[in-house]
Structure 1
Amino acid sequence: MKNIKNIFTALILTITLTACSSSDDTPEEIIDPVANLNLVDVIEDDLYQIELYSATDQLYVGYNELITRIKNKNSEDYVENASMNWTPVMHMTEMQHSCPKSQITETEISSVYKGFIVFQMSGNIEENWSLKVDFEINGEAYSITQNINVVNNEDEYRVVNVFKGNDESKYVLAMVPSELNVSINDFGAVLYKMENMMTFSIVENYTIAIDPRMPGMDNHSSPNNENLTFNAKSELYNGKLSLTMTGYWKVNLKVLNPNDEIIKGEEITDENKASSIYFDLSI
């Protein structure tokens, strides 16, 4: 999987304005807030155009952090202070379902908004994702729905796990992309419970235990890992991932509830080389 920097960090860098010199006549440098991002899709009707930007080159299975803007197609201006929400839907041959997603919130720039979507699967010739964006401008409501293209990562590594827990609930657990190196890395994930086919709720105060292994190197692990715990402010699970050499790693996972009961996942032993839930990665 392509490791990417946090998209919001990139946004902050791009919106930083050059400081004025001692001369009052020196103008501020105007910087494009999405200059370092990729336009991965456009959803539009006759009046408005919703632009979706990402640090990656397209929408992928797993966690997608997105920046979005609304463009008035008549005036060519970007809309400020709008309220927005989105509904992704997978149209399968026999059913439909949604996926975990965040709220869309404003950034430091009033015409630029951010959020994330976790796609559990890719589209194909017969099955596809659509994205409905509802937004309100000056008290007037609008809605645009359009098909979007979601693909697997080139290496087809597992970055999202969909499973039924020992409590009979269904969960979606996805890795948050980040830059990983031979070191002790910040490591994150999101965990959602499937309430029904269209509704997913954030799971709070669980623990995601990690056990990274190198299957090609006698399945050895690494020291100084820290399990992922819930951050109420970011609504992410954060921990530390120790990677001691370059190559392919399998990050074996266990999900535990607040009573330390295992919801899903297994210990790694000489007889059991991998957990039933895991993330793949290479550095």
Structure 2
Amino acid sequence: MKRIIKITILYITIVLGQISIYSCHNATKTTSTQTEMDTSASAVDLSNMLMLADTNFAGKQISIWTADSLTNKFESLYLRLLDGKGKPLTDEALDYHITMDMGMMSHGGPYDPLVNKGNGIYQADMVFIMANMKDMGKGWLLKTLLQGKDKTDTLTVALPVQQATVARTLPTGTTTDGRVFVSCLLPNELESGKHQIEFALHKMDKETFTNLDGYTIAIEPFMPEMKHGSSENNDAQSKGNGRYSGQVNFTMPGEWIVKVKLMKNGDIVSQDHLVYPIKIKS
């Protein structure tokens, strides 16, 4: 079981080295919250997750959790909001966005609206298109906004995003939409057999990122050591909101790769060879 890391605002920078918290009060109002309610999913269990931050926020208690250490790929964070007595807050005007602070410059990154998972827990899906760089700015910042009657409170947390050991988010040029980022949501290891394979596709437009639909993501699993692929694979089709789903079949244990091409109207439109390694266990 993963160890729960409790971090207070007094020693966050000492424990993690890369996490810091800033808060401020803004008298202006923001747009309405983008939070969506997910009533179909089961409750989120935070007991085996890592706590990245835990502090007071506008008279409430907010904590931020992740399933594992953060790397430059598609990640899900979980924000838990409690009142002063520890009671879950489930109907708050909560929103967020992410920024990469590189010191002399900054840019955004792909992220989806918050999803209200119930019991005071909100899910935030995002893609870190690069890792933090040593001695270059604050790195990735998560800014949480809580809208009240006459002001919006903000809390900014610096996130410790490390370099991934296995590539899961790759950039490519396209003949249709310019530069895009293709995130494969497979874990680093899987059991042999058939599995659902999902992707998130985002278009980069200057400093903003948008979900990209309308493609087919062609997949080809291949085992380099044995020099063979597999049958019964289905290319990933668009499900909307930049998400794609297909099926991949890993027929035996060992080191595999998944070769990926972006297709539109039957033509290859990606300009680079996208390869995602994966270890298949028996």
**TM-score, normalized by length of structure 1?**
0.75
Gaps of 5+ in 1: 1-7, 15-32, 266-274
SS at match of 1:186: strand
Q: Which residue of 1 aligns with 2:145?
A: 134
| CA distance in 1: counterparts of 2:182 and 2:43, whole angstroms | 29
Shift of 1:47: 3.9
Compute the displacement of 1:142 (Å): 1.4
In structure 1, the partner of 2:274 is 277
Q: Distance in 1 between matches of 2:217 and 2:55?
A: 36
| Corresponding residue for residue 22 of structure 1 | none
Q: Are 2:260 and 1:260 aligned?
A: no
Structure 2 equivalent of residue 162 of structure 1: 171
Select 2:96's aligned residue among 72, 75, 86. 86
Higher strand share: 2
SS in 2 for 1:89: strand
The answer as to whether partners of 1:43 and 1:145 remain within 8 angstroms in 2 is no
| Cα deviations by residue, 1:195-244 (Å, 9 ceiling, x for unpaired) | 221x21111121100111122223x2111111000113x75200001101
Q: Is it true that 1:116 corresponds to 2:101 in the alignment?
A: no
Alignment check: 8 A CA contact 1:40 1:59 kept? no
Match of residue 27 from structure 1:
none
1:85 positional shift? 2.0
Shift of the 97–224 alpha-carbon distance from structure 1 to 2, 3 Å rule, reads same
Could you tell me which of 142, 149, 155 is aligned with 1:144? 155
> In the alignment, is residue 189 of structure 1 matched against residue 199 of structure 2?
yes
Q: Cα gap change, 1:12/1:139 in structure 2, threshold over 3 Å: closer, same or farther?
A: farther
Match of 1:224 among 232, 251, 258: 232
- In the alignment, does 2:81 pair up with 1:70? yes
Per the normalisation by structure 2, the TM-score is: 0.75
Question: Given that residues 84 and 136 in structure 1 are in contact (C-alpha distance below 8 angstroms), is that contact kept between their aligned partners in structure 2?
Answer: yes
RMSD: 2.6
- Mapped to 2, the partners of 1:213 and 1:44 lie a distance apart of 50
Q: Extract unaligned runs of 5+ from structure 2.
A: 1-37
The question of whether the paired residues in 1 share the 8 Å contact of 2:51 and 2:64 is answered with yes
Q: Structure 2: which amino acid aligns with 1:231? A: K
User: How many residues are aligned here?
Assistant: 239
* Aligned counterpart, 1:51: 63
- 1:170 maps to a residue whose letter is R
SS in 2 for 1:215: coil
3-state secondary structure, aligned to 1:151: coil
- Following superposition, the deviation at residue 264 of structure 1 comes to 0.8
Deviations 1:130-152 (A, max 9, x none): 11111225675211112111112
